[in-house]
């Protein structure tokens, strides 16, 4: 009995130390440290710690750096597994978060950002869908390389999304030939968008990314007033003209009380292929200044890069591109997922639980 009690006390002490180390871990996606309830399994065997975490947002690739940190701080080998499981609280049908990716004007890379963000969120462990809300100029089918795909239906009432890279996709581009112009008035376009959203069998999704059309018209009002979105992400370039229009987009979301999760500055700079120097072709600090003015985070400063253009035009996954660009979009996905989680936590009741640990 004495040996068992001694072992129990040792394990309890080790677990307490583990919690202290996890609590102290800080990164962009874990500003408050690792929460104790995320630890779902903890064992020690021959000096090796086996640790399983269940984290409520898409952040699987943090495994490597967190393992290195724990190994260093605990002085023991650590085998870490991370599972992503969001709380079963659905915003819409079986969708847990709806995120609107918007811009004030076209040509800033909004659709590319929405597609690559979706791919990164999926790679980070989330179940992800993309709704192309740009009825007049759908780009999502081309960016995913599925422009020739046609949706199917099980019951002739609802459509199955197109699946590419584990991402569920729906767009008017699958239903209207690319060579045809969509000449519809605002109410008709809004009705078409409602049907795409409501009559698609999305299934269980953690994140539904909505690629919004540019501007502040009927479709924007439809999505903000009739859909329980979790927040909006604003995409801009550093140019004064783009920033002025992005400002209008921010003002619109503020008027309808939709949280703005952050701002992405696209084509932020160009890295010279010879000397590596940053060239600010479209201006400098515009995105940072706009984000600061409205009290929202600047999520990323994505450079002007030929890999992004080629990847989007060829319908490839951004995770197959250069290391720097992969890191940009993965970091963006992690931050967006964590912001959605902490935003949800901040609006709910906090329970204080005292344990023996």
Q: Which amino acids are annotated as binding site, given as ranges? A: 104-111
Please state the length of the chain.
Answer: 357
How far apart CA 316 and CA 164 sit, in angstroms, is 10
Q: Are 165 and 144 in contact (CB under 8 A)?
A: yes
Which residues line the annotated binding site for ATP? 104-111
- Distance of alpha carbon 161 from alpha carbon 175, whole angstroms: 12
Whole-angstrom distance between the N-terminal and C-terminal Cα of the chain? Answer: 22
Distance between CA 328 and CA 238 in Å, rounded? Answer: 17
Output the 3-class SS for 60-119. HHHHHHHHHHHHHHHCCEEEEEEEECCCCCCCECCEEEEEEEECCCCCCCHHHHHHHHHH
**R_g (Cα) of the chain, nearest Å:** 22
* C-alpha to C-alpha distances, 188 to 73, 193, 293, nearest whole angstrom: 60, 9, 36
Residue 203: left (phi > 0), alpha (psi -120 to 50), or beta? left
CB distance 169 to 235 below 8 Å = no
Exposed/middle/buried for residue 73 (C-beta within 10 Å: 0-12, 13-18, 19+): middle
Angstrom distance (rounded) from CA 340 to CA 334:
10
Q: Which two tokens mark 305?
A: 């890069």
Owner of token pair 């995120």: 99
131 DSSP β-pair partners: 170, 210
Collapse the DSSP code of 26 into the 3-class scheme (helix H, G, I; strand E, B; otherwise coil) and give the result.
coil
3-state secondary structure 181-245: CCCCCHHHHHHHHHHHHHCECCCCEEEEEEECCCCCCHHHHHHHHHCCCCEEEEEECCCHHHHHH
Helix-, strand-, coil-residue percentages of the chain, each rounded to 5: 40, 20, 40
């Amino acid at each position: 009995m004495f040996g068992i009690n001694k072992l129990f006390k040792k394990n309890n002490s080790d677990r307490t130390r583990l919690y202290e180390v996890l609590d102290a871990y800080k990164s962009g996606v874990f500003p408050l440290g690792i929460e104790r309830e995320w630890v779902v399994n903890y064992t020690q065997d021959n000096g090796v710690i086996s640790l399983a975490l269940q984290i409520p947002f898409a952040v699987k690739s943090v495994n490597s750096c967190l393992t290195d940190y724990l190994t260093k701080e605990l002085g023991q080998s650590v085998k870490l597994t991370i599972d992503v499981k969001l709380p079963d609280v659905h915003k819409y049908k079986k969708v847990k978060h709806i995120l609107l990716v918007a811009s004030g004007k076209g040509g800033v890379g909004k659709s590319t950002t929405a597609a690559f963000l979706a791919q990164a969120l999926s790679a980070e462990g989330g179940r992800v869908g993309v709704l192309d809300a740009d009825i007049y100029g759908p780009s999502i089918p081309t960016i995913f390389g599925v422009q020739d795909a046609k949706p199917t239906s099980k019951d002739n009432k609802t459509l199955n999304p197109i699946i590419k890279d584990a991402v569920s996709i729906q767009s008017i581009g699958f239903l209207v030939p690319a060579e045809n112009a969509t000449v519809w008035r605002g109410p008709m376009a809004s009705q078409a968008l409602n049907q795409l959203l409501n009559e698609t069998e999305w299934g269980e999704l953690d994140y539904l990314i909505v690629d919004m059309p540019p501007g502040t018209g009927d479709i924007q009002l439809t999505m903000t007033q009739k859909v329980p979105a979790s927040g909006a992400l604003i995409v801009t370039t550093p140019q004064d003209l783009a920033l002025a229009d992005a400002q209008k987009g921010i003002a619109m979301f503020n008027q309808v009380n939709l949280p703005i999760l952050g701002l992405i500055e696209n084509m932020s700079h160009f890295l010279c292929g010879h000397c590596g120097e940053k060239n600010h072709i479209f201006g400098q600090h515009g995105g940072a200044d706009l984000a600061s003015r409205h009290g929202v985070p600047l999520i990323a400063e994505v450079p002007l890069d030929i890999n992004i253009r080629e990847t989007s035009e060829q319908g490839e996954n951004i995770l197959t591109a250069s290391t720097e660009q992969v890191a940009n979009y993965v970091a963006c996905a992690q931050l967006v997922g964590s912001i959605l989680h902490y935003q949800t936590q901040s609006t709910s009741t906090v329970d204080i639980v005292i344990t023996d640990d």
